[in-house]
Amino acid sequence: MLNIKDYKKKREKDEFKQKLVRHRLVILYRIILVMIVLTVSAILLYINYQNKVYTDYEVVQEYERQDADEANYILCNGKVLKYSQDGAEVFDGANNAVWNETYEMQNPMVATCKDSVAICDYKGNRIYVISDAGEQGIIETKLPITNISVSQQGVVAAVLEDNDVTRIFLFSKEGEELINIRCTMAQNGYPVDISLSEDGIKLGVSYIRIERGELKSSVAFYNFGDVGQNEIDNYASGYDYIDTVIPKVKFINSSTAFALGDNRFNLYRGSQKPTSAFETILNEEVQSVFYGNKSVGLVFRTGESENKFRIDVYNEEGELSLSQKFDIDYLDIILKDDLLIIYNDTRCIIYNTHGVEKFSGSFREPVLLLVPTEQKSKYLLVNRSAVQTIRLK
């Protein structure tokens, strides 16, 4: 039987436990409340962003430049790559040169992957490999070069002409020959296009040949990693297509590639041996193809007086995520995150993946290149005389 002293201690102990439970419940309720508020706020911000429409822009920074009229500009890993017959450079939005390279070329060809850049002269014998860290190496070839592709690490694939034989070489960025694939019309066909994966392990090749009087195209994938060492000539997988010309094959990331033919569109997926994941027969002529690292957009003419073009955007699973009509003669189309950016030298239209028009407006000066930034409302505009950072409003 408890005495009064023990009873008081037990009661105090029970009261302490009850207070501790209530305190913990209060903290839990507060955490839940904060989480609810944050979740609701995030949903409201997302809805606000999805529904927000910009009608104009303001220039927040501007840096003067003086460039020759023959220079070309392309997007390179969030920066600007300018190249011409005399040299190339990459610069950022503050007009700071990341690197520059001088050379003499008649018809420069450029391949990029992340910050790696490969440049050569069409039918020349030298390939420059450059990254944000500067020049990585110069590759010398004995045969004329007709096509190149580069990986993120600076590995270069090159198509070289050798009389009636065509060769596909793989080079390290330092110029070491890694792989030599011999192509003949009787065996493989002629390599129309090539594409290295970002990791430099897989190579996609589109071949064309005549077999028994029929036109045949093939898409072949080679693996130069451990898996490919167990395969004959590193051949990992491939597909044949009758009465089709496939001028374009491209890895959009390390495990997804697409092939675009004159009458079909195919997606292939696989980290080691890419297999066919999606295909569709095209009943309309494709005007252009654009791609990001997770999607591919095909542009068609509609035949309408207004909205002359339509772009069908497929995600990497082959799902049609957006079909959008538009009416400007485009200079470039950018697929970035959840945005579709269409522009020419004087106009720009931006849609989200739901087809909501986020911006439609005109540039105040002719634009050569538009570069999205990490902030969805900020862009770089490049012209012959300046680099501008603009903010949509």
**Structure tokens, 172:** 């390290």
Q: What is the pLDDT of residue 40?
A: 63
Q: What is the pLDDT of residue 315?
A: 96
- Given its phi and psi angles, is residue 196 left (phi above 0), alpha (psi -120 to 50 degrees) or beta? beta
Say whether pLDDT at 14 is over 70: no
Question: Which tops the pLDDT comparison, 241 or 42?
Answer: 241
Say whether pLDDT at 44 is over 60: no
Phi first, then psi: what are they for 65, rounded to 5°? -140, 155
Distance CA 239, CA 269 (A): 13
Spell out a b/e string for 313-331, using b for 16 or more CB atoms within 10 Å of the CB, else e. bbbbebeebbebebebebb
Q: Give the mean pLDDT of the chain.
A: 91
Say whether pLDDT at 23 is over 80: no
Least Cα distance to 265 among 318, 214, 317, 310 occurs for: 318
181-202 tens-digit pLDDT: 999 998 899 999 999 999 999 9
List beta partners, residue 245.
none
Q: What is the pLDDT of residue 142?
A: 95
Q: What is the pLDDT of residue 13?
A: 67
One-letter amino acid of 27: I
Find the Cα–Cα–Cα–Cα dihedral 183, 186, 192, 196, rounded to 10°: -40
pLDDT above 90 as % of the chain: 79
Say whether pLDDT at 2 is over 70: no
Mean of pLDDT values over 53-71: 89
Say whether pLDDT at 1 is over 60: no
Least Cα distance to 295 among 277, 319, 275 occurs for: 319
What DSSP letter does each residue of 326-356 carry, written as one string?
Answer: E-S--SEEEEETTEEEEE-SSEEEEEETT--
Q: Please, which pLDDT band fits residue 382 given cuts at 50, 70 and 90?
A: very high
Q: What is the pLDDT of residue 8?
A: 62
Mean of pLDDT values over 238-246: 96
Say whether pLDDT at 207 is over 70: yes
Q: What is the pLDDT of residue 224?
A: 95
Question: Which tops the pLDDT comparison, 5 or 282?
Answer: 282
Q: Is the separation of the CB atoms in 204 and 274 below 8 Å?
A: yes
Q: What is the pLDDT of residue 164?
A: 87
271-329 tens-digit pLDDT: 999 999 999 999 999 999 999 999 999 999 999 999 999 999 999 999 999 999 999 99
Q: What is the pLDDT of residue 5?
A: 61
pTM: 0.87
Q: Please, which pLDDT band fits residue 50 given cuts at 50, 70 and 90?
A: low
Q: What is the pLDDT of residue 25?
A: 74
Q: What is the pLDDT of residue 28?
A: 77
102-149 tens-digit pLDDT: 999 999 999 999 999 999 999 999 999 999 999 999 999 999 999 999
Question: Which tops the pLDDT comparison, 344 or 3?
Answer: 344
Q: Please, which pLDDT band fits residue 230 given cuts at 50, 70 and 90?
A: confident
